[in-house]
Amino acid sequence: MRSVAWPRKARIALSLVFLLFTGVIFLDPARWIPVVWLQAITWPQFTPSLLKFLITGGWAAAGFLLFVVITLVFGRIYCSTVCPLGTLQDIISRIRRRILRQKPLRYARPQNILRYLILIIVVISIIAGSALLVNFLDPYSNFGRILANLFRPAVLAGNNALAGMLEKQDIFWLPRTPWKGYQPASLGFAAAFLILVTWMSAVRGRLYCNTVCPVGALLGLFSRVSLLRISLDKQLCNSCGQCSKVCKAQCIDVKNREVDYSRCVACFNCITACPSSGVVYRFSGFSIPQVETDPAAVEKQNRRTLLKAFMVGTAFLSTRAFATRLTGGEKPTTIPEERSLVSSPPGSEGHDHFNKNCTACHLCVSACPTHVLQPSFLEYGLQGLMQPYMDYHSGFCNFECTVCSDICPTGAILPLAKDLKKRVQLGVAVFIKENCVVYTDETDCGACSEHCPTKAVDMVPYKDGLTIPEVDDKICIGCGACEYACPTRPFRAIFVEGNQLHIMADEPQQEEIILEDTGEDFPF
Amino acid sequence: MKRREFIIKGVSAGVVTGTSLGLGGITGLASALPPQNAYDLVAVRDGEPDVMFDRAIASLGGMTKYVKKGQKVVVKPNIGWDVIPERAGNTNPKLVGRIVKHCLEAGASEVYVFDNTCDAWNLCYKNSGIEKAVKDAGGKLVPGNTENYYQSVQIPKGKRLKEARVHELILNSDVFINVPVLKHHSSASISLAMKNLMGVVWDRRYWHRNDLHQCIADFVTWRKPTLNVIDGYRVMLRNGPRGVSEADVVMMKQLIVSADIVAADAAATLVFGSKPQDIPHIRIANEMKLGTMDLSRLNINRIKI
């Protein structure tokens, strides 16, 4: 009998579409992709959607619910199509087995204790208000970090090289985008994670998804009771084992003609591989199958794997060196900027809300037009590891821009109307007079005030016709334009002290300008 | 708010009146003018930005006097901020578009427009309206957002500024038209033609750190623009250079054009309501003989539309 190939083909096609779309949003070199597309592309991603739903309760964040329902009917379609990390692992696995011609996979016992233990700990940590574990383990966020930290620099380098070539031909439509995101902690974590899943998927297919991934474990609970399941037909199956060899979840026990539905990711490889139509995908009623659970069989190997992941991850963490370059002849400033808090992005309501809900996918880091959003190391403390913060040495928040709050898939940065955004105070500028050029050199400067969108930093008379900055903290929104523009090094003369909780700044008061009559057409 | 205009009393001596401005080609106008009109500076008022420029350039002998066939032209407006034209933080897009058009009609092979912006460059280009105006006029909008575009130059005559990284377009173009917008400026008191040149360099931080006014004047010793066109159509009278709201802006409908960058700045300063000698970089540039701020020595054409 002919094998059925179309379900597998459809799955591959769909998964590549999701991989491509989810990938380009992190790689887009010139922000060509409109905001609504970014929103649509991240909508089905499970963890972000779940978090957003918990915060907003809106149907706009109900992507995860759709996939709970789909899983209850069809099994873990999500894991084999929507999840970009899943597809990435499939590609790695395929390269190893097809191109490098390694041994095929075979049935393996589930790691249920480890798997559900991780899920329980993650759920408890979310309830307890920490996003750190989800941040480490969530497939979408890890995929995002891999792309934003490792692939994006390569894409930008290619983009900029191409832009350079086009410019030589006098063509300027392709802009260059500088790479400002060199953050050792998140770069190291992303690299370590990529190495980990590469190794796990090369050796054991979907081991990560069925042992470590909290989304996989959760959806596995639903797929155990799904209406449609893969099963081996007792009559047609001749136990040849072809299905088991192509099963990347290693969940087909040919000997006993059993399938572990909780681990099956509905990839349909088995259906295609079966020479005798013995693998069927069919309605299995509402019965709850008896899945073998043997606590004693928990492999220590996998625990070690997990430990390794954390160890490699932390080994890469190192403090970020602030740029302290000097230009010739200047007197270096002496008073350090003693910032006790960094600022969280506008729309994040403050550190608590942000740290609890951000999974550090770095979509906002990739999309921020001024590069002010950068992955943190310990700026927020350990609980905010790799979550983006406002790095005013890298850029400053564009007054008119709301991109991060428009696209944040988890609701860590909530949507903010433009008029409100212009008044949300992330922090307050602090002026250090002794570092200021006007004070040290007695020459005009005013770079801070120049960039200030609300004129919270204004120039007031100082001496001999000079003016010096003065901060009005009532109308300061903490956008960091002043800190970014301040020319003194190594310490700046103005910096933003972050607000733990964002507040609304006052609106700048504007008096009417009344021109005096000059009585002449031209004053010369 | 109700914006009051300057009260107009009488007609100044040099005003050109009754010139027939047909709807025909704008270059045709230039040839109609007598050649003896060798003006050092032209001031125009009370017209739309594009119309005022037509009149100004015609009275200077037309764009062909500055742009020869096949030459590459770079036009440098102020596109520093992500604000709409009504906020007057950037040069008026209609004016920029018209200048590009004049250059092309004069036979320029290419007309490039760029700025090293303060806010996110692509948002500035777009929301200032300049991107569209330049493209519609047939010019090329070039980015200035990364260091790759800038090359190091020596400034031997500079007192504090000895070196700068300058956009390659300034180095590679035959004609350089500087198109600032007249506005208040918290650092430099007032932002004009000389100040606008900070947008052609990469490392502005050095200028701020090392006597801003001296550096602004020093840079002019390296290269003077072929022509300076100061946009005083909408003028930001306070809270510059970015401005806080439209309440900072008044409608003045003025335009100053001159090859003498110091004279252009001096004239625009007077229009703004300040004295040129009170603006340190204008005073320094005058002392360094980079141009003159004494307008009484110049042949000025004053045009009221």
- N residues, chain B: 305
Closest in A400, A453, A521 to B45, CB measured = A521
The CATH code for residues B38-304 is 3.40.50.11440
Q: Alpha-carbon distance A70 to A62, whole Å?
A: 13
Coil vs helix vs strand at A467: strand
* Distances B153 to B17, B76, B181 between C-alpha atoms, Å: 46, 18, 26
Query: How confident is the model over B267-280, as pLDDT tens digits?
Result: 999 999 999 999 99
pTM of the model: 0.88
Query: How confident is the model over B99-146, as pLDDT tens digits?
Result: 999 999 999 999 999 999 999 999 999 999 999 999 999 999 999 999
Q: What confidence score (pLDDT) does residue A296 get?
A: 45
Pairing type for strands A279-283 and A258-259 reads: unpaired
**Which among A176, A325, A450 is the top mutation candidate for probing chain B, defined by the most B β-carbons within 10 Å of its own β-carbon?**
A450
**B1 shares contact with chain A (CB less than 8 Å):** yes
Q: Alpha-carbon distance A442 to B158, whole Å?
A: 19
**Which residue type does A55 have?**
I
pLDDT confidence tier of residue A97, bands split at 50, 70 and 90? confident
Q: Alpha-carbon distance A159 to B17, whole Å?
A: 54
Q: What is the mean pLDDT of residues A192-214?
A: 96
Q: What confidence score (pLDDT) does residue A72 get?
A: 95
**In B21-86, alpha helices (H):** 28-31, 49-59
Using a pLDDT cut of 90, give the percent of chain B over it.
Answer: 85
Closest in B118, B145, B237 to A176, CB measured = B145
Q: Which residue has the higher pLDDT, B18 or A192?
A: A192
The answer to whether residue A367 sits within a structural domain is yes
Closest in B8, B142, B209 to A172, CB measured = B142
Beta strands in A124-259 (DSSP E): 228-232, 252-253, 258-259
CA distance A127 to chain B (A): 39
Q: Alpha-carbon distance B198 to B117, whole Å?
A: 10
Closest in B122, B143, B205 to A172, CB measured = B143
Contact B186 A454 (CB under 8 A): no
**Which among A176, A177, A521 is the top mutation candidate for probing chain B, defined by the most B β-carbons within 10 Å of its own β-carbon?**
A521
Query: Is the pLDDT reported for residue A309 higher than 90?
Result: no
Q: For chain A, give the longest Cα–Cα distance.
A: 105
**B213 shares contact with chain A (CB less than 8 Å):** yes
Contact B186 A449 (CB under 8 A): yes
Contact B205 A327 (CB under 8 A): yes
One domain for residues A272 and A390: no
Q: Which residue has the higher pLDDT, A286 or B295?
A: B295
CB contact at 8 A, A444 and A454: no
Query: Is the pLDDT reported for residue B33 higher than 60?
Result: no
pLDDT confidence tier of residue A510, bands split at 50, 70 and 90? confident
The answer to whether residue A345 sits within a structural domain is no
Ranges A54-63, A165-174, A440-449, B184-193, most confident: A440-449
CB contact at 8 A, B95 and B233: yes
Q: What confidence score (pLDDT) does residue A103 get?
A: 81
Query: How confident is the model over B247-259, as pLDDT tens digits?
Result: 999 999 999 999 9
Query: How confident is the model over A419-439, as pLDDT tens digits?
Result: 999 999 999 999 999 999 999
Q: What confidence score (pLDDT) does residue A379 get?
A: 94
pLDDT confidence tier of residue A227, bands split at 50, 70 and 90? very high
Q: What confidence score (pLDDT) does residue A234 get?
A: 86
Using a pLDDT cut of 70, give the percent of chain A over it.
Answer: 90
Contact B6 A452 (CB under 8 A): no
Q: What confidence score (pLDDT) does residue B254 get?
A: 96
Q: Which residue has the higher pLDDT, B30 or B84?
A: B84
Contact B247 A524 (CB under 8 A): no
**Which among B159, B237, B242, B255 is the top mutation candidate for probing chain A, defined by the most A β-carbons within 10 Å of its own β-carbon?**
B242
The answer to whether residue A156 sits within a structural domain is no
Using a pLDDT cut of 90, give the percent of chain A over it.
Answer: 76
Query: Is the pLDDT reported for residue A518 higher than 50?
Result: yes
One domain for residues A290 and A412: no
Contact B206 A454 (CB under 8 A): no
One domain for residues A382 and A472: yes
One domain for residues A271 and A383: no
pLDDT confidence tier of residue A287, bands split at 50, 70 and 90? low
One domain for residues A403 and A475: yes
Exposed, middle or buried, B25 (CB in 10 Å: 0-12/13-18/19+)? Answer: exposed
Which two tokens mark A30? 């010139």
Query: Is the pLDDT reported for residue A351 higher than 60?
Result: yes
Query: Is the pLDDT reported for residue B32 higher than 70?
Result: no
CB contact at 8 A, A360 and A141: yes
- Find the domain containing A412 and state its range: 351-504
Contact A467 B6 (CB under 8 A): no
Q: What is the mean pLDDT of residues A172-194?
A: 90
CA distance B267 to chain A (A): 7
Beta strands in B147-248 (DSSP E): 150-154, 163-167, 175-179, 181-185, 189-191, 227-236
Q: Alpha-carbon distance B185 to B195, whole Å?
A: 10
If you measure CA to CA, which chain B residue comes closest to A451?
A: B242
Contact B213 A444 (CB under 8 A): yes
Q: Which residues are CB-contacts of B232 (< 8 A; sequence separation ≥ 6)?
A: B181, B182, B252, B253, B254, B255, B256, B268, B271, B272
Query: Is the pLDDT reported for residue A408 higher than 90?
Result: yes
**Which among B141, B186, B213 is the top mutation candidate for probing chain A, defined by the most A β-carbons within 10 Å of its own β-carbon?**
B186
Contact B187 A455 (CB under 8 A): no
Q: What is the mean pLDDT of chain B?
A: 89
The answer to whether residue A510 sits within a structural domain is no
Q: Which residue has the higher pLDDT, B128 or A104?
A: B128
pLDDT confidence tier of residue B177, bands split at 50, 70 and 90? very high
Q: Which of A344, A357, A347, A354 is nearest to A416 (CA)?
A: A347
Q: What confidence score (pLDDT) does residue A2 get?
A: 55
Owner of token pair 């045009």? B303
If you measure CA to CA, which chain A residue comes closest to B111?
A: A170
Q: What confidence score (pLDDT) does residue A1 get?
A: 47
Which two tokens mark A139? 């497939």
Query: Is the pLDDT reported for residue B29 higher than 70?
Result: no
**B110 shares contact with chain A (CB less than 8 Å):** yes
If you measure CA to CA, which chain B residue comes closest to A439?
A: B209
Name chain B contacts of A514, Cβ cutoff 8 Å.
4
**In A109-183, alpha helices (H):** 112-127, 132-137, 139-146, 152-168
Contact B4 A514 (CB under 8 A): yes
Q: What confidence score (pLDDT) does residue B19 get?
A: 39
Sign, CA dihedral A21-A22-A27-A31, equals positive
Q: What confidence score (pLDDT) does residue A96 get?
A: 86
Name chain A contacts of B82, Cβ cutoff 8 Å.
398-401
B232: how many CB neighbours lie within 10 A of its CB?
A: 27
One domain for residues A210 and A71: yes
CA distance B147 to chain A (A): 9
Q: What confidence score (pLDDT) does residue A285 get?
A: 62
Q: Alpha-carbon distance A259 to A220, whole Å?
A: 13
Query: Is the pLDDT reported for residue B302 higher than 60?
Result: yes
One domain for residues A355 and A289: no
CA dihedral B37, B43, B45, B51 (to 10 degrees): 60
Contact A510 B304 (CB under 8 A): no
CA distance A460 to chain B (A): 9
Number of H helices, E strands in chain A: 23, 10
User: What φ, ψ does residue A27 adopt, rounded to 5°?
Assistant: -105, -20
Q: What is the mean pLDDT of residues A267-274?
A: 94
Q: Which of A131, A187, A48 is nearest to A380 (CA)?
A: A131
**B208 shares contact with chain A (CB less than 8 Å):** yes
Query: Is the pLDDT reported for residue A369 higher than 70?
Result: yes
If you measure CA to CA, which chain A residue comes closest to B44?
A: A522
pLDDT confidence tier of residue A313, bands split at 50, 70 and 90? very low
Contact B118 A441 (CB under 8 A): no
Contact A369 B120 (CB under 8 A): yes
Q: What confidence score (pLDDT) does residue B35 get?
A: 47
Indicate the DSSP class of residue A283.
Answer: E
**Which among A173, A179, A472, A524 is the top mutation candidate for probing chain B, defined by the most B β-carbons within 10 Å of its own β-carbon?**
A524
The domain that holds A427 is classified in CATH as 3.30.70.20
If you measure CA to CA, which chain A residue comes closest to B239?
A: A455
CB contact at 8 A, B225 and B170: no
Final residue in a domain of this structure, among A260, A276, A295: A295
Q: Which of B77, B25, B14 is nearest to B229 (CA)?
A: B77
Coil vs helix vs strand at A287: coil
pLDDT confidence tier of residue B51, bands split at 50, 70 and 90? very high
Query: Is the pLDDT reported for residue A236 higher than 70?
Result: yes
Q: What confidence score (pLDDT) does residue A448 get?
A: 97
Q: Which of A408, A483, A400, A378 is nearest to B245 (CA)?
A: A400
End-to-end CA distance of chain B: 25
Query: Is the pLDDT reported for residue B208 higher than 60?
Result: yes
Q: Alpha-carbon distance B239 to B243, whole Å?
A: 5
Structural domains counted in chain A = 2
Q: Alpha-carbon distance A188 to A170, whole Å?
A: 39
The answer to whether residue A76 sits within a structural domain is yes
Query: Is the pLDDT reported for residue A298 higher than 60?
Result: no
Q: Which of A38, A125, A29, A142 is nearest to A89 (CA)?
A: A142
CA dihedral A170, A171, A174, A180 (to 10 degrees): 0
Interface size between A and B, measured as CB pairs under 8 A:
162
Q: What is the mean pLDDT of chain A?
A: 89
CA distance A402 to chain B (A): 12
Query: Is the pLDDT reported for residue B196 higher than 90?
Result: yes
If you measure CA to CA, which chain B residue comes closest to A396?
A: B119
Q: Which residue has the higher pLDDT, A79 or A3?
A: A79
**Which residue type does B165 have?**
R
CB contact at 8 A, B200 and B76: yes
Q: Alpha-carbon distance A127 to B119, whole Å?
A: 40
Which two tokens mark A195? 């190495």
**B299 shares contact with chain A (CB less than 8 Å):** no
Q: What confidence score (pLDDT) does residue A102 get?
A: 76
**B148 shares contact with chain A (CB less than 8 Å):** yes
CA distance A465 to chain B (A): 9
Q: What is the mean pLDDT of residues A168-186?
A: 87
Q: Alpha-carbon distance B287 to B210, whole Å?
A: 19
Closest in A398, A444, A521 to B82, CB measured = A398
